[in-house]
Amino acid sequence: GENVEQHPSTLSVQEGDSAVIKCTYSDSASNYFPWYKQELGKGPQLIIDIRSNVGEKKDQRIAVTLNKTAKHFSLHITETQPEDSAVYFCAAGGGFAGGTSYGKLTFGQGTILTVHP
């Protein structure tokens, strides 16, 4: 099955700095890579996703890059703000209709991001 490794487990930055979180995956059939943000006391919420036919996607201060050859993808947050402090999860999913893995997402271990004012 799919295995997703996420690094670092904790990340501390100053307000205004950039933050980068990296993930690697093992299953070459994976073709969907979302990122979720979990604030304290809440469930995770999707912040951005990328599919395998795209190498990079950007949404305001957030960007995700994907390298299918190397099987890794990254989340980049620029101009960080204290409200960006949260736990971030990457995930990978894919497979084909009728396959046993179709519809399943495998999540990384999570990164606790702290942005200091």
Residue 54 touching another protein (CB under 8 A): no
The least CB distance from residue 37 to another protein, in Å, is 11
The least CB distance from residue 115 to another protein, in Å, is 21
Residue 75 touching another protein (CB under 8 A): no
Residue 45 touching another protein (CB under 8 A): yes
The count of residues interacting with another protein (CB under 8 A) is 27
Residue 98 touching another protein (CB under 8 A): no
Question: Quick one: which of 14, 40, 42, 117 contacts another protein (CB under 8 A)?
Answer: 42
Instruction: Please identify which residue in the block is written with the tokens 């979990």.
Output: 38
Q: Give backbone dihedrals phi and psi of 82, rounded to 5 degrees, phi first.
A: -55, -30
Q: What three-state secondary structure class fits 82?
A: helix
Separation CA 71–CA 30 (nearest Å):
9
Sign of CA dihedral 88, 43, 114, 61: positive
Burial of 73: CB neighbours in 10 Å, binned 0-12, 13-18, 19+: buried
Rule CB under 8 A: which residues touch another protein? 1, 4, 6, 9, 31-32, 34, 41-46, 49, 89, 91, 93-94, 102-110
